[in-house]
Structure 1
């Protein structure tokens, strides 16, 4: 299981970093800006989670291969112009992958440190959404988490609870993780595809 967790973490880092770098290049940022936005998007949520739980050293400091990977990706994106060739709408899929992976893994870490399901679910949402919120704020965009036309944080929250319940009922952590992760990714993609919202504007 630890090997699966680590693999998922690296996939999440790559997915979120890609979503950040696409937007950074659309905003005509230089390689430093591309790296910064990619780093914040991929690792910002986990950093805030660790700080709030007083979990030291921070995860990416223990695993320096993550920021090194992001640096390498930033150089490739900047000098190969990948972000210019990828439509901005394409960030939805890597963003959904990152949201799912980091929400579930963040919630599990909180459980491992002795927190309740409710607190762990909030920390999972924070892990999955805060990096993207910082990305959008720094790029002068309204963060997904605050947009009325996007279901985002609520999907993360429900996915964390589904993960907890499956873990309790099935007594199989790997299966529970897969169910929670797939739920978040599929529902997030479906929400974008079919314009599913928590609230719609009232017309009088």
Structure 2
């Protein structure tokens, strides 16, 4: 039986990509990574894919005047590599509603805050400015809004008075690497069921991902 094929979209260092690669290699994610796409050239995510013999390509957003053309190229490559599920791993582009409809309920993202708080690209800065005592990360389905899709899993970390954006980001990132692979496996094994805003996890009495 063929394993599901993942397409991973990234923009930078690819640390979440690496955690997914490791989980696949260890049998903790029942899938194969068919393609890694970045929207920037010469980023670490491409090097990680290359090192692990995963097909990879840069589709440089700056070379496309229109977002529609950029996304058309994304779709072309995803289909060429028979990608069934898209995993966003630090992909710093907002996907259009038209793009998302091609993979409705088949796109996952991880956001470095406890949604619905602190959406967007500056979650750590915004959390510190607001003065919260707890932050964290959220795995969610991608819908047509900004970080607004149904929530699959969350993990919390304390926020200390001495925190900077960098120290808070590092603490949150450690949790991202734990919950994202687990959430992906739940999704791929059919254990997630969307009911309105809620994502129900089958055969899970604890309410978490432990």
TM-score under structure 2 length normalisation: 0.36
Greater strand share, structure number: 2
Greater helix share, structure number: 1
Q: RCO (CA 8 Å, sep 6+): is it higher in 1 or 2?
A: 1
